[in-house]
Chain A
Amino acid sequence: MSAVADTIAAISTPIGEGGIGIVRLSGDRSFQVAKKIFKPRSKRDIDKFENRKLYLGNIVDPETHEVIDEVLIVFFKAPHTYTREDMVEINCHGGLMAQKKILDLTLRDEVRIADPGEFTKRAFLNGRIDLSQAEAVIDVIRAKTERALVMANRQLAGGLSDRVQDIRKNLLSIIVHIEANIDFPEEDIPEADLSHIKQEIEDTRVVLDRLIQNSGAGKIMRDGISTLILGNTNVGKSSLLNALLKEERAIVTDIPGTTRDVIEEYVDIKGIPIKIIDTAGIRRTKDKVESIGIRRAMDYLDEAQMILFTVDASRNMTDDDLYLIDKVKDKFTIVVLNKVDLPLKFEQKTIEELLPGKKIVKVSALKEEGIDELKQAIYDAVEQEIGFLDEHAIIAGERQRQVMQKAKESLDLAIESMANQMPVEVVELDIRQAWEKLGEITGDTVSDNIITAIFENFCIGK
C-alpha cells in the first residue's frame, strides 16, 4: 500500500542534451491520465498494453486535438516500480516546450506537480529504497528543495511577487471584513456588501488570469523569448534571420531599406523557443513608409527581451551605428559582426570598446558561417540572464502557475456560491482558499494574519 494517495507528475531529465526529456507520473491515477492524452501509433488497444514495454504514439491535447509531440510511453504497474506506485514515463524529444506542454496536460483529474524530491521520498516511504540510504534520501530532497526555492525566487524577481502580494492584500481585506462580521456580530461594523465583494472578486480574477497568462517560464515557453534583430540598413539583418531559420523567409536585396515591415519567426534553440523579429534597418531617411517601419523597430526595442545588434564589418562604422550603440548599451544584447567573409574595415576591439561586456559573435549570414556559435551564444546568454532552463526551473515556474490557477478556480467557486445565494461564510471559504493558496507563492500562509488584520481594521470591544 502506498502511503500517499495523490498522483504526481514532473519533468525528470535535464534538458538541453538533444532535447530528450521524460515526463513522469506516479500514483493511482497515472494510467488513467496518460491514457487520456496518449494516442498509440499502432491500432492496439491501449488497455491491453503490456507492462514495462515501450509504445510509440503521439501526445494529443484532448481538448484541442492538437498533436504536441511524438513520444515513447511506458506503463509500469505497481509495486515493481521506483515509487512502488503505478508509474508512467513519457519519453519525448520535442524539446522543452513540448515537455512543458505534456506536463501541463498531465495536470488533470487532481494530478499535481511533484514537490521537489517527491519521487525519491515516495520511493523511500514505500520501501523501495534501502534503509541505509535514508540520510542520502534526505540530502537529495533537501538539495532539490533548496534548488527549487532558488529558482522560484529568481522567477519572482520579475515582479510577480509584488503583484501576487497585491492580490492577496485585496482578498485579505474582503476576508477580514467578512470574518469581523461573523465573529463580532454585535460590534457596529457595517455588514460586508456582497454585491461589492462580487465585483472585487471578479476584478481580482481578471488580474490573476492575466498574471497566469504572463507568468515566468509559461509565457516564455508559449511566446518565446522575443529577440530583436537591430541594425543599420543593409547590414544583413534579413539574411541573418534566414540563416537562423535555415530558410528564405525574408527578402534579401542589396538595396538598403528592403525590409519595411516587421517579420516575426520562431526558432527553437536547444528547446528554448526564440521569437526572432526582423525589422527595418535604422538610418535617417526621407521615405515616409520606411520611417514608419523604423519607428516601429524602435518600439520593438523597448519590448524585446534580447537584442541581436548587427553590424556590417565590411564597411566603416556610421553615425547611425553609433546612434544604435547608444540605444542598446543598457539592454540584454549580443553583437553580431556580419559579413566577415569580406575584408574587415574595423577590428572587433572597436566594438568591444564601444559596447563593453557584450558578447560578440562573428558570422557570415551569406555563407552561413558562425551561425551555430551564435545559437550557442544565445542559449548561454538566456540561461545566464533568465535562468530557467532546467527541469527545476521549469517546474518552479510551472508550480507557481498552477498555484495561481488553483487560486483562480477558487475565486470562480466563490462567484458561483454568490450566484447561488450561499451565505457569506460559505462564500468566504473559497476566497480564503485562494488567499491561502497564493501565500505559497509569496511564502506566507500564516492564517493568524486574518485575526491580526481584524483588530487592526476594526474597533472590536463589546
Chain B
Amino acid sequence: MTQYTAGTYDVIVVGAGHAGCEAALAAARLGLKTVAFTINLDSVALMACNPSIGGPGKGHLVREIDALGGQMAINLDKTFIQVRMLNTKKGPAVRALRAQADKIAYQYSMRYSLELQENLDLIQEEIVKILVKGQKVIGVVTKTGGVYYANAVILTTGVYLCGKIYVGDVSYNGGPNGLFPANELTNSLIDLGFEMGRFKTGTPPRIHKDSIDFSKMIEQPGDKEIIPFSYTTGKINREQVSCWLTYSNEETHKIIEENLYRAPLYSGQIKGAGPRYCPSIEVKVVNFKDKKSHQIFIEPEGINNSEMYIQGLSTSLPVDVQIQMTRSVKGLENAKIMRFGYAIEYDFVIPTQLKPTLEAKKIDGLYMAGQINGTSGYEEAAAQGLIAGINACMKIKEREPVVLQRSDAYIGVLIDDLVTKGVKEPYRILTSRAEYRLVLRQDNADMRLMEIGHNIGLISDDRYKKMICKKGMIEKEIERLGSVKLTPNSDTNEKLKKLNTSPINTPVTLEELLKRPEISYESLKELDETREELPSEIIEQVEIAVTYEGYIKRQINQINRHKKMENKRIPEDINYDDIHGLRIEAREKLKEVMPLSIGQASRISGVTPADITVLLIYLEAQKRKRTSG
C-alpha cells in the first residue's frame, strides 16, 4: 500500500459513534483543528441497539453532558418521539428521563451538527494504524494509505474492533447492522503494547409495524407534560408515539429450550462476556426457569419507517427459531421480521490502562472513549467521548486536565470505576454505583457542572450567567422561607388544619413547615399569600433543598471528609518498588492502576487501609526530602 500525507490536524477522532461525535465536537468547539473518521458516513451516531436514550443513571449522564456543553441532549430533544420521567413515585435523586428517539432523525441531526461545526472535518475512512513516535502519538493511517498527523488521537471505535456476528451456527466478521468491522486496528493496539479483552452484546429482531396486533398489548404512552433533556431547550409540545408491552409465554420458552443446542451462547462459540443487565432471551429462560413469562416492549424505531424494536427478545438463536419464538408471543402471531437478532463479539482495551483523563498511560496523546473501554450504552459512550475530547484539548493547550470526582458527577463515577476497577462485563452506569446519589441528581446537573463547562470553554457566558441567576433565585427563596415566621393564632391553625397537618403553638418558619412530608411548596401558598410567583424549576429546587436538607448536608459532609484523600495527589513517576512496607498484592495492584490520588488508590480492590497509611507516610517522607534537599 502506497502511503501519502493526507493532512495535519490538532485532534483526530477515530469513529463517529456517540463517543466520537461528542469528542470531535468538543475539540472543534475549543478551537482545535479536528477530523473525525467514520467507517460509513451514513452511520454517524448510529443507535445500533435500542431506540431509547436515558433511564436511571443514563438520563443523569445525558443531563451532565449537557451541562458540560455536549450535544447529545440537544439533538435528542429535537428528535425524540416519546419521553417519560421514570421513578416519579420515588425521590428526586433517582428520578430519570428516558426518551424514545427517532433513530434516523437522531443520527442525521448529529451528523448535521458535525457537518456544520467550524474546525471539524468528517471523513469516511477506516483507520488501520496508529502512528507513534517514542511514547507519543503522532497520527493515523487510513486503509487507503492516507497518513494524517495530529497531536492527539481519540479512539472511539465502538464494537467494530474485530467485530464478529453470530446468528445460530452462522458467524462472520462484521460490524453492527451489516456494517464493516475494523479488523486491523486491534493489531496496531496490540503492537503498541495494549492488553485487549473481548466482550459480547446482542440485539433482538425488528418487526414490521403492520404485522403486529397492538390490540393484544398494553399501551405505554409518553408523559403528558414533556420535560426536555437539555437545559437550553424551551417548552416542547410534540405529538408522541406509544410503546407497547406484551409478554413471552411458556410456548416461547419451550421453543427456546428445545433449540438451545443451536444457540451460540450455549454451544461454546461465543467466549466474550455479555452484559448481565441486558441478557438475551435464551439466557433469561435458562437462568430464571421459574419465570413463566418475560416482558417484551415493542418500541418504534422512528416515525418515518415501519420498523419496530422488540425490546426483551435479544437473541442469537438461528433465524428459523427467531421466527418461531417471535410468533409465539401474544400480538406477534403474524409478525414479519425485517431484521434478525444477532450477537456481536468485539475487542476492547482493558480500561485500567487509562488515566482518569482517558489518556493511555503508555502513549502520550492517545485517548480512548466508549465501548473500546469496555462500556455499553450510548450515554456512557457520549460522556466519555466528551471528556476525552476535552482532555485532548487541555493537553494540547497545556491546561489542567478535567477529572470529575465521584462526588461531582455520574461521569466521575463512570470513569473512576473504569480506570480504577476495570470491567468484567460491558459496563453500564447505575445509580447504585454512585455513593453520593442524593447530591448527583438529574435536576441539578447544571448547578453541579456548568461552572466547570464554562471554565473549559464549552458553556457560553450567557448560559453560565443564566445558571448563576437561577442559583441565586433558589438561595434567595430558601432564605426568605427561613425568615418568614408564622405566629400561632386561630387563623393560621385553621389553615394548617385544612392542609391536614398539625397546628402550631410556637412561632414556626415557612421553611420548617415545608419540611413536613404532607406539605408542599404549592400547598404552603395559603399561608404565604404575599409571595412572588416563581418558575417551576426554582420551586422544585427549593422543595428538594428544604425537604432533604439534613440528608444532603450529611452527604456533603461525607464528600468533604473524602476530599482530602481525593485531593492528595500521587506523583505519576512514583516507584512502588521503592516503598518499604507495602504488601506484594497491594504493590502489584498499585503498579497496574497507577492511581492519581490517594482517594483513587483506596478504591483499588486488594489495597487495604494499612497500605494507604504506608503510602501516605512514604509520600510525606518524599515531600520532606524534597523540601530539605
Contacts and interface: CB of A to CB of B under 8 A. Distances in A.
B613 A117 contact: yes
A455 B276 contact: yes
Interface string A415-433: 0010011111110010000
Contact of A141 (B279, B431, B613): B613
B87 A135 contact: no
A247 B46 CA distance: 91
B407 to A, nearest CB: 15
Interface in B585-621: 605, 609-610, 613-614, 616-618, 620-621
A134 B621 CA distance: 7
Interface string B82-113: 00001100111110000000000000000000
B551 A131 contact: no
B438 A426 contact: yes
Contacts of A421: 517
Contacts of B291: 459
Contact of B551 (A429, A450, A461): A429
A183 interface: yes
A162 interface: no
Given A138-B581, A141-B613, A450-B432, A426 B86 contact: no
Contacts of A145: 610
Given A125-B617, A182-B87, A186-B86, A141 B93 contact: no
* Most B CB within 10 A of own CB, among A138, A450, A455: A138
* Most B CB within 10 A of own CB, among A3, A142, A182, A423: A182
B87 A461 contact: no
B531 interface: no
Interface string A140-172: 011001000000000000000000000000000
Contact of B432 (A134, A182, A185): A182
Nearest to B555: A429
* Most B CB within 10 A of own CB, among A115, A421, A422: A422
A30 to B, nearest CB: 19
B91 A425 contact: yes
Contacts of B517: 420-422
B4 to A, nearest CB: 49
Contacts of A417: 551
A181 B430 CA distance: 12
B56 interface: yes
A16 B297 CA distance: 71
Nearest to B288: A459
A182 B94 contact: yes
A429 B550 CA distance: 13
A115 B613 CA distance: 10
Nearest to B515: A420
A142 to B, nearest CB: 6
A459 B287 contact: yes
Contact of A134 (B295, B548, B617): B617
A461 B312 contact: yes
B624 interface: yes
Nearest to B548: A426
Interface string B256-289: 0000000000000000000011110101100110
Given A131-B621, A182-B56, A186-B297, 7 more contacts: A4-B564, A134-B621, A138-B581, A141-B617, A421-B517, A448-B421, A462-B297
12 contacts: A125-B617, A137-B617, A138-B618, A139-B581, A142-B610, A182-B94, A184-B56, A185-B56, A422-B91, A447-B435, A459-B287, A459-B288
Interface of A: 3-5, 115-117, 121, 124-125, 127, 131, 134-135, 137-139, 141-142, 145, 179, 181-188, 417, 420-426, 429, 446-448, 450-451, 454-455, 459-462
List 3 A-B pairs, minimum CB-CB distance, nearest first. Answer: A423-B91, A138-B581, A421-B517
Interface of B: 55-57, 86-87, 90-94, 276-279, 281, 283-284, 287-288, 291, 294-295, 297, 311-312, 314, 421, 430-433, 435, 437-438, 517, 548, 551, 561, 564, 580-581, 605, 609-610, 613-614, 616-618, 620-621, 624-625, 628
